[in-house]
Amino acid sequence: NKSRPHSRGEYNVYSTFQSHEPEFDYLKSLEIEEKINKIRWLPQQNAAHFLLSTNDKTIKLWKISERDKRAEGYNLKDEDGRLRDPFRITALRVPILKPMDLMVEASPRRIFANAHTYHINSISVNSDHETYLSADDLRINLWHLEITDRSFNIVDIKPANMEELTEVITAAEFHPHHCNVFVYSSSKGTIRLCDMRSSALCDRHSKFFEEPEDPSSRSFFSEIISSISDVKFSHSGRYMMTRDYLSVKVWDLNMENRPVETYQVHEYLRSKLCSLYENDCIFDKFECCWNGSDSAIMTGSYNNFFRMFDRNTRRDITLEASRESSKPRAILKPRKVCTGGKRKKDEISVDSLDFNKKILHTAWHPMENIIAVAATNNLYIFQDKIN
């Protein structure tokens, strides 16, 4: 119905295509995986969809378009494509467009290569719809969507002596409205906001966001779990959200010395850090996202759990994305992790969590309460229940 055009539909695969292939850099003896690190949509300007996808080294602009008509009745060739003998043609006809089965085609329109020495972790389309940034561990580059053979370096944190390296860039994003502003997060849990109007090379930040740490609580794990795995501006552009290993923080861009809100994702893991370090899970990079109105935020966890927080009511919920708990049309049951000794029925104890089932990627529809949750090799789409 018109008031909720997106609800109650079934989602199906629209298009599948191979974006990147594995490569081998012979000069540096480096294997370049085809694994896609980030995908970002361009704002839609016509019937086609455009997206940027990147692996560790190369960014590609893809055009995805629909074809549902085919021209028939050519003069110079048959329906099967064979050329007709021109001397046999006795009459001319005008080709007509006939409907055909919908075909979705993906074609690479631009390939932006050879600008990153280290591994690309972020791409972000600017609000000017002309430029975008790409960030690797140590540098951020600015591109024009039309120009593939040049990019401008706007941030470079590589020390002259690599022995002095203490932090890397973990994520970067353009402000949703101010095309001169972007932020980047670090492995030390800090966020720097830069203004491209102030200088060509934005090595000096305009704002520096860091929550003060209690030095007495510092441990071997402190820096690792403070590393920010994702940073996202709110749609309003007033706030930004960061995800570190155990929590999600909302920052007011006008206040640099601490976040305005902190949400614990899975605090019970703090007493499991030793084994999470041994099995490398402590380095997992979770993403986070806002809903369309910025009133709620969502992020993933382990055991195929994902968490949502309502910023106004301060309520939170844990849900599970798995075949057993999601029959079509069934309402998801809230989950609870038991931390203490006595496990109630339906609760799951921390030691029973499956750390191989991690939800790193989630997305919230910009206008509706529809979410997409990626659980290993399955994609779940959930909708708000209709009363």
Site residues for other proteins per CB under 8 A: 24, 26-27, 29-33, 56, 118-119, 137-138, 162-168, 187-188, 217, 219-224, 227, 270-274, 277-278
**Residue whose tokens read 């992020």:** 299
Task: Rank residues 45 and 161 by Cβ distance to other proteins and give the closer one.
Answer: 161
How many CB atoms are closer than 10 A to CB 176? 17
* 182: nearest Cα among 153, 154, 211, 150: 154
CB of residue 367 to other proteins, shortest distance in Å: 37
DSSP string, 62-83: EEEEEEEEEEE--SSB-TTSPB
CB of residue 59 to other proteins, shortest distance in Å: 18
Distance between CA atoms of residues 62 and 51, nearest Å:
5
CA 174 to chain centroid:
13
DSSP state of 53: E
Task: Rank residues 240 and 273 by Cβ distance to other proteins and give the closer one.
Answer: 273
Task: Rank residues 55 and 148 by Cβ distance to other proteins and give the closer one.
Answer: 55
Task: Rank residues 161 and 254 by Cβ distance to other proteins and give the closer one.
Answer: 161
CB of residue 309 to other proteins, shortest distance in Å: 22
How many CB atoms are closer than 10 A to CB 207? 16
CB of residue 299 to other proteins, shortest distance in Å: 21
Task: Rank residues 301 and 326 by Cβ distance to other proteins and give the closer one.
Answer: 301
CB of residue 111 to other proteins, shortest distance in Å: 20
Distance between CA atoms of residues 380 and 372, nearest Å:
6
CA distances (Å), origin 7, targets 2, 193, 290, 298, 369: 10, 37, 19, 20, 9
